[in-house]
Structure 1
């Protein structure tokens, strides 16, 4: 898999902790983090959209609490 297959998130800054995304087709989205590029999460547009909407709505904020 070449580097050109991946697009860096516009919200990622310089250095570590960058999110990369790649779409194999209209049904498969891959995500990886710059610190562990060999670990790839695979999902679909519907599930990713639901996750993003939940995060924006604050429904996942409790996951960051100690």
Structure 2
């Protein structure tokens, strides 16, 4: 996908790798590593909120 600046992949236990990216229009993207052509898209603020909630342990029940 053109115009997205992807970060290096983040891989957790079991090689569940994902990538986070942003574009110049203020959008944020998250995708499974290797499947960057089909990312989820939202605002940077929404992605920031998601990451903060995950770091706070509010998604541990999903793991």
Question: What are structure 2's unaligned runs of at least 5 residues?
Answer: none
Aligned residues: 60
Alignment partner of 2:49: what SS? helix
Question: What are structure 1's unaligned runs of at least 5 residues?
Answer: none
> How far did residue 26 of structure 1 move?
4.7
The change in CA–CA distance for 1:5 and 1:55 in structure 2 (over 3 A counts) is closer
TM superposition outliers: structure 1 runs of 4+ over 4 Å: none
What is the match of residue 47 of structure 1?
46
Provide the C-alpha distance between the structure 2 equivalents of 1:46 and 1:37, rounded to a whole number of angstroms.
20
* RMSD across aligned positions (CA): 2.6
Q: Which has the larger radius of gyration?
A: 1
Of stretches 47-56 and 21-30 in structure 1, the one that deviates more from structure 2 is 21-30
The change in CA–CA distance for 1:35 and 1:44 in structure 2 (over 3 A counts) is same
TM-score by length of 1: 0.62
Q: Work out whether residues 23 and 30 of structure 1, in 8 Å CA contact, stay in contact via their aligned partners in 2.
A: yes
Determine if the alignment matches structure 1 residue 28 to structure 2 residue 9. no
